[in-house]
Structure 1
Amino acid sequence: MTEYGRGPGSAPWHPEDPYGDGGWGGQQTHTDPQSSYDGRPQHHPPQPQYGGWGDQQHYGEQYGQQHYTDPHQQPPFDPSRQQSHPGAPQQYPQSGWNDGTAQPYPADPYAHQGAPYGGEQPGPYGGGPDAYPQPEPPGRRDAEPEPRPDWDPEPGQDDHAFFAGGGRNDHPERPGADGDDGDDGDGENGENTGRRGRAGRRGRGGKGKKRRNGCACLVVVLVFGGGLGGAGYLGYHYYKDRFAAPPDYAGDGTGEMVTVIIPKGSFGSVIGRKLKDAGVVKSVDAFVAAQKDNPDGEKIQAGAYLLRKHMSAKSAVAMMLDRKSQANVLVTPGERNARVYADIDTKLGLPAGTTKGIAEKQYRSLGLPNWANTDTDIKDPLEGFLYPGTYPAAKGMKPEAVLKEMVSHANQAYGKYDLAAKAKALGLKGPLQVVTVASLVQAEGKTHDDYRKMAEVVYNRLKPTNTETNQLLQFDSTFNYLKGQSTIHISESEINSNTDPYNTYTHKGLPPGPIGNPGDDALEATLNPTHDGWIYFVATDGENNTEFAKTYAEFQRLKEKFNASSGN
């Protein structure tokens, strides 16, 4: 068995002769058939294992270089390749790595044993710190880790790369682990200690370890302290959020007024953010809490609000619920455009008729769908497209901006349905007629239950087979629209003498366009009417109670009931 660190052919170790050759005084000679020097004294230092190098072949063979096989010829001596160190003795000629050959050195049987702590280990020639180990191949220094029999089996924590602060080579089993050129035998003064281990690391001073230990402790303290600080910060804010009252102003605010616009679909925190950004409330949380505490807090809707700055959250909620502070225009289902125009003028502080004039001149640029305004007899192209809802209308805004928002809402509402396909299925000419029917249903129906029956009445009277009214709708609402009024007491002479296309007593079919702005319920009922045969209806109480009939005889009885309730 070959001892670790001894080359093949070495004599066995003897306790009385630790060098196996009687010491340097009497060198042992033997004939090694694998040696380059037949019969010459051979000494084998520990050979690094590089993928099988030294296993019955020379380094030069690994590199494809020629080695010397003549037992009587020495390799040519090249002084330029001889190792040279300051203060080192001249050694016998040896070949460097560049020529592909490697010369064996005397063996060191104790090369595998670590030196005592703080002690020195002799070099490969039995000398002291002046001896130099054989250099490593340049291309192999970082390729593979070299086995190090003298490596410290119990490295300190500060040898770890994290605490050492080293770079690429900070590893105890790799050359250059201490940041130098890999030759761990060098001491502080450039002297070779003859070993590659802990002594070499200690030779560079133990103060560095203490310094690194101090840095490590500092890092631990900072991390631990930062963790405590972070926990305290989170705990404080958790307590503050859970138990402390949110920041809030006191009182009803200053005299400075500000307009706040709340978008559609906004909920408590969004509204609170808008108010805080405008300087009305001090915090979002305060507003959310005040809105929850107010029984009517959830009734706050989208729109514009005229509020004071620096108000308490409670006062802000109460003021937003007050209609006087609401800088909005509210379009109700069935409301006509003429009323909407007047409301916009009032909210914006404009002369009467300003918004109506803009609508007449700029309706094409307000976003109407391409199927709108297809009849030249339409009185107002925007009728039916100022969709019911609440819209901001604060002073300083332009009327066309308010109208555009209303038309945009109508496009969204109508866009949810395929009105072209629905019109065809219902026997109508196009989407505009669907909206027109919805406006009639909205105007004539009084309750939600009336809408579907009212839609059926319209469709039954439009049928060519209608012999009851001969395709005449005969709706008072259409006549009132063209007259700009709202009354149920219309004389037959007045109705029959008017030939306007909106008079459905004298013109068959639908009016040219919508007579108001229908809401969601009326629109959905228009698209889904009943099929019970209704063709007549009478508001028997004159206001909210509408009754339906299928025959003319039933209609007469309902009419008599109406006359009795109204005093006719």
Structure 2
Amino acid sequence: MNDLDMDFLVGSDDEGRPGRKSRASSGRDSGGRRGRRRKRRRNRGGFLAPMLAVIVLLGGIGAAGFYGYTWVRDVMTPDDYTGPGSGEVVVEIKDGQNASDVAQTLEEQGVVKSVKAFVNAVAQAGKSSSLQPGEYAMRKQMAAAEAVKLLDPEKRLLERITLKEGLRLIDTLKQLAEKTGKPLREFQQAAKNSRKLGLPSYARGRLEGYAFPATYEIRPKMTPSEILGALVERFKQTAEKDDLQGKAKELGRTPHEIMTIASIVQAESGTKEDMGKVARVIYNRLAGNPRLNLSMDSTVMYGLNKYGIESSHKDLESTSPYNTYKFAGLPPGPIANPGDDAIQAALNPTKGDWGWFVTTCPAKQLTKFASTEADFFALKAEYERNKGNGC
């Protein structure tokens, strides 16, 4: 091994002690190691900085996302009250209004906080198409979902009024006034306004006979004119169903005459089964013996504003045009408000030759019919025997 080789392998340290030397121990190599260490430290710093930036960025995005979600949630969630509300307010849903229209009304009256809240609540409940016209008792500042529950059609504010067949108009008006709490004079005034009530032209401007008896649902805010208009509208529906005008023409009568006959049938009949026969007696008298005239006690009583089934001799002296004992033909108009059965009987009288009928047992509303005058007097005697007892 030459000296050069030995110098490479053996040397001394900085203090003169012998030791191994290598190229790594040279000044150049020693500096290289320090450089690499510094580089590694720089590399570690270069990795951490971007990571920190990413973390900060992601944190910023997360915060922005949270606040963004909160903002979107607040924007997408409509303003709404909580709880069942308080106080009371009557809200009317009008015919033809949709959920948005109703929501607008509720917001204006302080029931719900926003239109959107109510529309959403109705949609979630699946009741968008079930909102019914009427008046409802609501509360102020209700949660929209609670408001939807109170708009159930079964909870409408309604007065259910049943008007019986055969009531005179004055009695109909009294019942309506009593059950609605509205003044009778307002109903009486409304009854005179035939145009506003929608009466058919053949009614001759009189409501008597055309205030159809049925069961009605009366809303609190309905006026007497609106209530009576509903009765007339129901009559017109029945008249159309029965083809009143067409069948009246076939019988050689006007619709007004048919309604007059129907009112007498209603007043004189004890049962539905009697109606067709009573109608036949009326037609037979109108077409037959002029001595008899129509001779109906019900018309005489109406003209005198009295009630009963038998006219006195004094009653028969009345000069009222409704005294059908004195004046031939039909009276000027209906004497009551007939139901559909009586109208049907007037349009379809039972076939027969009867000229008389007598309620032989008033307590049981038993009516008998006669074709001869002799039979009539026999029935009259039976009535006299039964009058005042239970038959």
TM score, norm. by length of structure 2: 0.59
Classify 1:479/1:256 alpha carbon distance in 2 versus 1 (closer, same or farther; 3 Å). Answer: farther
Classify 1:553/1:262 alpha carbon distance in 2 versus 1 (closer, same or farther; 3 Å). Answer: farther
The equivalent residue for 1:387 is 212
Distance in 1 of aligned mates of 2:270 and 2:186: 32
Which one of the candidate residues 167, 173, 179 is aligned to 1:341? 173
One-letter amino acid matched to 2:289 = N
Distance in 2 of aligned mates of 1:449 and 1:508: 27
Distance in 1 of aligned mates of 2:170 and 2:308: 17
Distance in 2 of aligned mates of 1:506 and 1:262: 52
Which one of the candidate residues 544, 552, 555 is aligned to 2:376? 555
One-letter amino acid matched to 2:181 = G
1:503 matched to 2:323? The reply is yes
1:150-229 aligned at under 5 Å gives the runs none
1:108-119 aligned at under 5 Å gives the runs none
Give, in angstroms, the shift of residue 452 of structure 1.
0.5
Runs (5+) with no aligned partner, structure 2: 1-85, 96-105, 112-120, 123-131, 140-145
Give, in angstroms, the shift of residue 533 of structure 1.
0.8
The equivalent residue for 1:516 is 336
CA contact (8 A) 2:300 2:315 kept: no
The equivalent residue for 1:367 is 198
Which one of the candidate residues 267, 275, 280 is aligned to 1:451? 275
CA contact (8 A) 2:158 2:218 kept: no
The equivalent residue for 2:366 is 545
SS in 2 for 1:540: strand
Classify 1:405/1:303 alpha carbon distance in 2 versus 1 (closer, same or farther; 3 Å). Answer: farther
Distance in 2 of aligned mates of 1:566 and 1:520: 30
SS in 1 for 2:284: helix
Give, in angstroms, the shift of residue 483 of structure 1.
2.4
1:386-405 aligned at under 5 Å gives the runs 386-405=211-230
CA contact (8 A) 1:535 1:549 kept: yes
Runs (5+) with no aligned partner, structure 1: 1-253, 264-276, 284-301, 374-379
SS in 1 for 2:345: helix
Distance in 2 of aligned mates of 1:558 and 1:335: 27
Aligned length: 273
1:487-502 aligned at under 5 Å gives the runs 487-495=308-316, 497-502=317-322
The equivalent residue for 1:223 is none
CA contact (8 A) 2:242 2:344 kept: no
One-letter amino acid matched to 1:394 = R
Classify 1:541/1:303 alpha carbon distance in 2 versus 1 (closer, same or farther; 3 Å). Answer: farther
SS in 2 for 1:440: helix
- Higher RCO (CA 8 Å, separation ≥ 6 residues): 2
Where does structure 1 differ by over 3 angstroms across 4 or more consecutive aligned residues?
254-263, 302-310, 316-320, 417-421
Give, in angstroms, the shift of residue 345 of structure 1.
2.4
Distance in 2 of aligned mates of 1:481 and 1:500: 9
SS in 2 for 1:537: strand
CA contact (8 A) 1:441 1:454 kept: yes
The equivalent residue for 1:486 is 307
Distance in 2 of aligned mates of 1:478 and 1:384: 13
SS in 2 for 1:517: coil
The equivalent residue for 1:466 is 289
CA contact (8 A) 1:347 1:395 kept: no
TM score, norm. by length of structure 1: 0.42
Distance in 2 of aligned mates of 1:553 and 1:303: 60
One-letter amino acid matched to 1:389 = A
Distance in 1 of aligned mates of 2:244 and 2:197: 21
Map Cα deviations across residues 499-530 of structure 1 (whole Å, 9 max, x no partner).
11111111111111111111111111111111
Map Cα deviations across residues 151-199 of structure 1 (whole Å, 9 max, x no partner).
xxxxxxxxxxxxxxxxxxxxxxxxxxxxxxxxxxxxxxxxxxxxxxxxx
Choose between structure 1 and 2: higher strand proportion.
Answer: 2
One-letter amino acid matched to 1:457 = V
Classify 1:476/1:381 alpha carbon distance in 2 versus 1 (closer, same or farther; 3 Å). Answer: same
Give, in angstroms, the shift of residue 461 of structure 1.
0.5
CA contact (8 A) 1:348 1:394 kept: no
1:408 matched to 2:233? The reply is yes
SS in 2 for 1:446: coil
The equivalent residue for 2:164 is 332
Distance in 1 of aligned mates of 2:302 and 2:93: 33
Give, in angstroms, the shift of residue 567 of structure 1.
4.4
One-letter amino acid matched to 2:306 = Q
- In terms of Rg, which structure is larger? 1
Distance in 1 of aligned mates of 2:310 and 2:227: 35
SS in 1 for 2:374: helix
One-letter amino acid matched to 2:166 = G
CA contact (8 A) 1:260 1:307 kept: no
Give, in angstroms, the shift of residue 318 of structure 1.
11
Give, in angstroms, the shift of residue 386 of structure 1.
1.1
SS in 1 for 2:166: coil
CA contact (8 A) 2:270 2:367 kept: yes
The equivalent residue for 2:56 is none
Distance in 2 of aligned mates of 1:345 and 1:414: 26
Identity %: 38
The equivalent residue for 1:528 is 348
Choose between structure 1 and 2: higher helix proportion.
Answer: 2
Give, in angstroms, the shift of residue 350 of structure 1.
2.5
One-letter amino acid matched to 2:360 = T
One-letter amino acid matched to 1:564 = R
